[in-house]
Amino acid sequence: MMMGKTCSKTTPSNLLVKRGERQKARNTPAGKETNAPLGVFVLEYDASNEDIEKTRNWKPIIKIAVSGAAGMISNHLLFKIASGEVFGPDQPVALRLLGSERSQVALEGVAMELEDCLFPLLREVDLGIDAKKVFEDADWALLIGAKPRGPGMERGDLLEMNGGLFAEQGKALNEVAKKTCKVMVVGNPCNTNALICMANAPNLDRRNFHALTRLDENRAKCQLALKAGVFYETVSNVTIWGNHSTTQVPDFVNAKIGGERCTDVIDDQTWLENDFTPAIQTRGGLLIKKWGRSSAASTAVSIADAMKALVTPTKEGDWFSSAVITDGNPYGIEEGLVFSMPCRSKGDGSYEIVEGLKINDWLRERIKKSEEELSNERMCVSHLMGVEGASCVILEDTLLPGEM
Ligand code: LMR
């Protein structure tokens, strides 16, 4: 796949949009080549001409693989990463963009826009349609691409369709990514897709896998702030428990506003239970109804937030939500699920689950429901995790946040 100069760790070369795999990929079955747009795939220059003073203190380059790279979410996210907003102004990045045969020409367009932004920290852009090549040596894998549920499809069909994709991507990560690679699954149903991916990547630590619930946390923080009439930055300690589905539990019991208990600041239990909670659970669907498509910009912002939360020390006393493996969790949630819980990080890319949150009856009952849903989802995809013979029983056709 690699052509042209490779990046040295200390003095990385400039932006390279590489051509190796794409050269092959753009050979259509009929053997026709498409014309590469000016600049894309061919830009190289002599790195020794760079301003050494500027790059002297830069960290070694990191490789970030992104699936669904030609999609709407990526179209917001890639530019945030390339600008330095996620990893900081001294962290050069290489972007590895995974598309499909259908999206490969669009990927070239994305690469052209990345070039045209003149981001100094963006050192390479590499395009491909083969996960085994695109994930090579990845430090991060952001798995965004997935198919939405089509008309007439049961939840089980959706699990099967996307599960197969995530099993393949898990195998690819297992073979070629760094053992320390952090994997953030966004494509829905993201919790179970993350579990499938993890099961197919035994070389990677199970604790390196996340499914995105930061978008739900951000949505919850905003609504609490609006109700309390305060700036959203004063809302903290918000946990999303469970599945990124309509069974998720936005926790107002342990949340704080301006350091006070949320339930003291918003003294309206009826609103918290009957308005706030379902509003967060179904906000993605309302957005689709109004906008005509799934959330994209806010999802990208929340992916950036979720990554920053792992590479920045968490504020004293606070936490963030991420769906992570339940093995050894302190809340008695069934092991072997990817379940959203309160987490903290020292900023080294790892996390710990925060213990000691108060779980009252209201929370317990709802957390249980989300746990059961995830447990059922796992049974439905067990064959994709190397376990044969489990039966798939979806008792209730629960929905993704984006479905109504
Ligand atoms: C969201 O929460 O906005 C998305 O997960 C919606 C969806 O199903 O695409």
Centre of ligand 1 to C-alpha 299, Å, is 8
Residue 150 CA neighbour count, 13 Å, CB half = 6
Nearest residue (by CA) to ligand 1, atom 8, is 402
CB 137 within 8 A of CB 178: yes
For residue 192, which of 163, 164, 154 has the smallest C-alpha distance?
Answer: 163
Would strands 256-257 and 249-251 be described as parallel, antiparallel, or unpaired?
A: unpaired
Rounded Cα distance between 128 and 372, Å, is 38
Listed in sequence order, the DSSP H helices in 229-360 are: 262-265, 269-271, 277-281, 283-291, 297-311
Worst-scoring range by mean pLDDT, 30-34, 326-330, 336-340, 373-377? Answer: 30-34
Whether the CB of 402 sits within 6 Å of ligand 1? yes
- Average pLDDT along the chain: 87
Task: Work out the percent of the chain whose per-residue pLDDT is above 70.
Answer: 84
Inform me whether the pLDDT recorded for 213 exceeds 70.
Answer: yes
Q: What angle do CA 294, 115, 52 make, to 5 degrees?
A: 130
pLDDT at 398: 65
Whether the CB of 71 sits within 6 Å of ligand 1? no
For residue 128, which of 81, 158, 94 has the smallest C-alpha distance?
Answer: 94
SS3 of residue 264 by DSSP: helix
Worst-scoring range by mean pLDDT, 43-47, 94-98, 123-127, 190-194? Answer: 43-47
Centre of ligand 1 to C-alpha 296, Å, is 9
Tell me the pLDDT tens digit for each residue of 10-24. 233 344 455 434 444
Tell me the pLDDT tens digit for each residue of 227-253. 999 999 999 999 999 999 999 999 999
The number of beta carbons lying within 10 Å of the beta carbon of residue 202 is: 11
pLDDT at 48: 60
Element (H, E) at 282: none
Q: What is the DSSP letter of 61?
A: P
Inform me whether the pLDDT recorded for 25 exceeds 70.
Answer: no
For residue 142, which of 310, 12, 13, 18 has the smallest C-alpha distance?
Answer: 310
Exactly one of 76, 210, 244, 383 is catalytic; name it.
244
pLDDT at 31: 35
pLDDT at 7: 31
Whether the CB of 68 sits within 6 Å of ligand 1? no
Nearest residue (by CA) to ligand 1, atom 2, is 284
Unique residue bearing structure tokens 């600008």: 83
Inform me whether the pLDDT recorded for 52 exceeds 70.
Answer: yes
pLDDT at 131: 97
269 token code pair = 């239990």
Whether the CB of 284 sits within 6 Å of ligand 1? yes
Tell me the pLDDT tens digit for each residue of 103-162. 989 999 999 999 899 998 998 899 999 999 999 999 999 999 998 777 767 777 888 889
The answer for residues whose C-beta is within 8 angstroms of residue 51's C-beta and 6 or more apart is: none
Active site residue 210: no
pLDDT at 305: 98
Worst-scoring range by mean pLDDT, 227-231, 286-290, 353-357? Answer: 286-290
The answer for residues whose C-beta is within 8 angstroms of residue 367's C-beta and 6 or more apart is: 241, 242, 249, 331, 333, 359
